[in-house]
Amino acid sequence: MIKGGGGALFKEKIVMYCSKKRIILAGSEKFVYKFDFPLPVEVHPFARSSVLKSLKEYGIPNIRIGNKDFPFMTENGNIIYDISGYRYKDFDDIKAIERDIKNIPGVIEVGLFPKLTDTIFYKIDKEKGSFEKILI
């Protein structure tokens, strides 16, 4: 699962891992079998240049732009790089990808949430006003 589109991925991950039960509600367009959308990476501003170089090994990192064409700032005062055009060889080992990116000095958090046990997923059909439980 990838989260962090709203920029709160550091806090989202803390809440996710501290929760005894997790229920994820998402629109049907969010359930995909191929990662073809940007992966958010939260970065301390002091390290943005060095992290940018390192992230190029994983794909094409673009700094997220906020209001008035300035870099988007998270609630924690950090910036976000969105990686597209992945160069990952294998998405079967998401934990390794997460670990490798988090090992880059200056990276605060990665928007990857490896398969979480005890998590219930519901797919919402906005047109029908219904939802269904998804087994992952």
Residue 102's H or E segment, with its range, is helix 94-102
Under the banding of pLDDT at 50, 70 and 90, the label for residue 92 is: low
Distance separating alpha carbons of residues 131 and 24, to the nearest angstrom? 12
Of residues 67 and 92, which shows the higher confidence score?
67
Could you report the per-residue pLDDT of 21-50, keeping only the tens digit for each? 888 777 776 666 666 778 899 999 999 999
What is the count of structural domains for the chain?
Answer: 1
pLDDT number for residue 33: 66
- Any idea what DSSP says for residue 133? E
pTM above 0.95, yes or no: no
Averaged pLDDT for residues 95-124: 85
63 backbone dihedrals φ, ψ, rounded to 5°: -70, 135
> Is 4 inside a domain boundary?
no
Residue 131 resides in a domain: no
Check residue 13 and give its pLDDT.
Answer: 86
Contact by Cβ (8 Å): 107, 42: yes
Comparing CA positions, the residue from 86, 99, 136, 131 lying closest to residue 115 is: 136
Catalytic (active site) residue 12: yes
Which residues make Cβ contacts (< 8 Å) with residue 117, sequence separation at least 6?
none
Confidence band (pLDDT; 50, 70, 90) for 103?
very high
CATH of the domain at 89: 3.30.70.260
80 in any annotated domain = yes
pLDDT in tens, 70-89: 999 999 999 999 998 877 65
Whether 120 is in a domain gets the answer no
Range of the domain at 58: 9-20+37-114
Rounded to an integer, the average pLDDT of 102-124 is: 84
* Residue 96 confidence (pLDDT) above 90: no
**Within a domain: residue 57?**
yes
Q: What is the pLDDT of residue 70?
A: 92
If phi > 0 it is left, if psi is from -120 to 50 it is alpha, else beta; for residue 16 that is: alpha
Task: Report yes or no: 60 and 84 within 8 Å, Cβ to Cβ.
Answer: yes
Look at 62 and 125; give whichever has higher pLDDT: 62
Average pLDDT over all residues of the chain:
84
